[in-house]
Structure 1
């Protein structure tokens, strides 16, 4: 690990360096009217831009990492909340409802997803990094995906679909039901068919 800069207080490991970079970027996101740029993050830490680029190839990767780290504690809560749900429909409906109910009030995530003027750019929830994150989330469920007819590609597509739907709820709640039993009924009605009959899309000719 390079020790140049860091305002005279070099991190002891790469992990600590990454944490400091994410802390600095997160603090900037939380400031009204602020913009997150690699150069600004580097300046606040007393390092060169190349030092930040060593850990994050660009602003988008940095912002995604900030959002995902912010969600780490939430994912542990989610895993505990749906523990024991082995049916794909029950697990997905409850996980999505729980996510909407608990993440909608997270100002940092809302800014990252919907306000490029403050974060410099919006975060994509459908890029390779985000999909891998969603796939990992689904694999934490107590669902035997293979026994229910879902192969690896199905799980990847389900992760993308889930992230797209969650994104829409977090950015624009709209008139759709958004809490309690009403939200769960809404999700079960419209998400349910895709989970109960995942391969019926084959009848659609592309």
Structure 2
């Protein structure tokens, strides 16, 4: 790898180069916003040419998608930590959804999930097989005994799809006037939670 650019510290591997590009893109987004961040901005941030960035990513939207994905991974870890001690499946799902609705719009990297068009986890991409499978894996990390609740491993895909569809609507089309957490929790307790009693 060439020894120029990169702030005088060229990456030791392609993986390091990709991560530094992602980190630089996140900084540019913080300054300029997602719609005004260009590949030239990222290259300038790193002290490299556009061609150097193109060697690792085909387009700026791919880099922004990776910024969002990494933000999502960190978010899931915090979500699971937030749910520790909540063993009831209905309570865990409701509380998890309230946490998502409260947290995602307020954090820059997470808010990218709402702005990436069809590639977004919270747009039409919310119903792709890969996204639903990711949601099912996230549910498996909940502190819940799903089998005891009458929900098998195959059922988690269906539950993940329902959750993703509801979150898509709640995040992209919030209530007017805004709905507070108490009312949202009551809504989900009334209409979503009873499904878990049926499963049992």
Q: Could you say which TM-score interval applies, normalised by the shorter chain? A: 0.7 to 0.9
1:7 aligns with 2:5: yes
Structure 1 residues 151, 82: CA separation in 2 closer, same or farther (over 3 Å shift)?
Answer: same
Work out the CA distance in 2 between the residues paired with 1:183 and 1:63. Answer: 30
What secondary structure, in the 3-state scheme, does the structure 1 residue paired with 2:175 have?
Answer: coil
Structure 1 residues 36, 194: CA separation in 2 closer, same or farther (over 3 Å shift)?
Answer: farther
Structure 1 residues 102, 74: CA separation in 2 closer, same or farther (over 3 Å shift)?
Answer: same
Aligned match of 1:123 = 120
Aligned match of 2:26 = 26
Unaligned runs of 5+ in 1: 200-206
Aligned match of 1:192 = 193
Unaligned runs of 5+ in 2: none
Work out the CA distance in 2 between the residues paired with 1:19 and 1:162. Answer: 30
User: What is the number of equivalent residue pairs in this alignment?
Assistant: 188
CA RMSD after TM alignment: 3.2
Between 173-182 and 161-170, report the one with greater CA deviation: 173-182
Aligned match of 2:171 = 170
For 1:141-166, what per-residue CA distance to the aligned partner results, in whole angstroms no more than 9, with x for missing partners? 11121222222332122222222222
1:134 aligns with 2:135: yes
Aligned match of 2:110 = 109
Shift of 1:195: 2.9
Work out the CA distance in 2 between the residues paired with 1:196 and 1:59. Answer: 46
For 1:60-111, what per-residue CA distance to the aligned partner results, in whole angstroms no more than 9, with x for missing partners? 6544432232233332322222112222101101111122122232244334
Structure 1 residues 40, 178: CA separation in 2 closer, same or farther (over 3 Å shift)?
Answer: same
Structure 1 residues 196, 65: CA separation in 2 closer, same or farther (over 3 Å shift)?
Answer: farther
